[in-house]
Amino acid sequence: MPDLAAGAAVDVALVQRRTVRVLAAGQVLAGVAFGSTLSLGALLAADLSGQEALSGFATASVTLGAALTAIPLARLASRRGRRFALSTGNVMALAGISVVIAAAALRLFPLLLVGIALIGAGNAGTLQARFAATDLASTARRGRDLATVVWATTVGGVVGPLLLAPGEVLGASIGMPRLTGAYLFSFAAQACALALYVLVLRPDPLLLAQRRDRENAAAAVADAVTDRPALARYAMFAVAASHVTMASVMAMTPVHLSHIVAPDAVTLAVGVTIALHVFGMYGLSPVFGVLADRIGRIPVVVLGQVLLAAALAVAATLSWSQAGVLVALVLLGLGWSAATVAGSALLTEATPLAAFPRRQGRSDTLMTACAAVGSVLAGVILNGAGYGGLALWALLPVAAVCLGALWVRLRA
């Protein structure tokens, strides 16, 4: 479907359904690309640097790349549309994959970090796909449309890691550097996502929404969204605080499991725990989207905090139990899902269309930057207070989000 010229009639509901399907397919491909290579980054960092202590620089580089490019990509979307911004993210990820493979071949650790940061920059574009699902969404369906795109990440998140072993076999057969074979699948998935956005995401949802907004203004149609900056700030805070709670505990869970599980069972325990945690993050997001549409955004944000608090309570009291840690990580993923879906929908409906990309970019930057800081602090707390102590410290942002919700209600 080509982009529509100004003045052409368009069935917005039909375009929105098509947009959500395209974005969901793109998220599946991006999930495969990102999921198949994220864990390899840490392994490559340890291999090229010769020090396991430096493996964490891979995660830091991914986060830094996403944080630095979220706002520029949002500005690009505002000027050129979602299709251009999302495809730019794909191009950066493709460049990053190429740089990573080159770094592995040349045994250059700094170059590896540059490549991983570029992959993280591509992930910043992937994050913005959830906001693209709301550009044309009606208020009654905004939560579930956003959640549908978030849910699609589940497919790629599960399939991607399963491609690690086949990727290594394929890479070895064609002489690729060690630990880089799975990047073949990542490159192919990113290339397919790029083609999907360039060829199929038409008309561009944000450009169409901007055009309709201008037409409504010219016709004096009084249906524009009222700017509520205080509510938007709370939405950004709720998403970032929930993300830092989840990321800080999740990042330290593999280390903690290595201390409570038999050495020969650590890999299996970590794999199962993180897989179920990822399912909690994305698998039920449509449910939280429907709830956000029916009972309101803030109640579902608070529900997310209740789930996060329950997860942290389990982690603190059953930190010695592998089953307890597993339950805590599933609850942690569910809490993150509820807060992220509802908070992102709240941010959109508290923001006029003209300010969509700017505030959405700030939200993603704040979220990823807080996660980076939280992960670093989590390591320090784990070393000093243990896993249970880390869970108790993580209750602080949960309490802050709940107090913020009360403050928003009192202002209203």
Instruction: Indicate the pTM of the whole model.
Output: 0.80
Residue that finishes a domain, picked among 160, 189, 218: 218
Does pLDDT of 223 surpass 60? no
Same domain, 123 and 245: no
Nearest to 230 by CA among 101, 407, 403, 387: 407
Same domain, 208 and 236: no
Per the structure, how many domains does the chain have?
2
Residue that finishes a domain, picked among 218, 237, 265: 218
Instruction: Give domain status of residue 5, yes or no.
Output: no
| 247 vs 337, residue with greater confidence | 337
| 404 vs 181, residue with greater confidence | 404
Mean local confidence (pLDDT), 184-197: 94
Nearest to 315 by CA among 399, 275, 257, 368: 257
Does pLDDT of 109 surpass 50? yes
User: For residue range 339-353, what is the model confidence (pLDDT) as tens digits?
Assistant: 999 999 999 889 988
Same domain, 87 and 188: yes
What is the CATH classification number for the domain harbouring 41? Answer: 1.20.1250.20
Instruction: Give domain status of residue 135, yes or no.
Output: yes
User: For residue range 357-396, what is the model confidence (pLDDT) as tens digits?
Assistant: 889 899 999 998 888 788 778 878 888 888 999 999 999 9
Can you list the alpha helix ranges (DSSP code H) found in 36-55? 38-49
Same domain, 54 and 151: yes
Does pLDDT of 157 surpass 90? no
Picking from 17-26, 47-56, 104-113, 403-412, which range would have the lowest pLDDT averaged per residue?
47-56
Residue with tokens 């069972």: 265
Same domain, 16 and 67: yes
Structure confidence at residue 7 (pLDDT): 44
Structure confidence at residue 409 (pLDDT): 84
Instruction: Give domain status of residue 3, yes or no.
Output: no
Structure confidence at residue 51 (pLDDT): 75
Domain that holds residue 35: 12-218
Burial 211-239 (b: 16+ CB within 10 A, else e): bbbeeeeeeeeeeebeebeebbbbbbbbb
Q: Please report, for residues 31, 291, 302, 308, the alpha-carbon distance to residue 402 in angstroms, rounded to integers and kept in the order given.
A: 31, 18, 6, 11
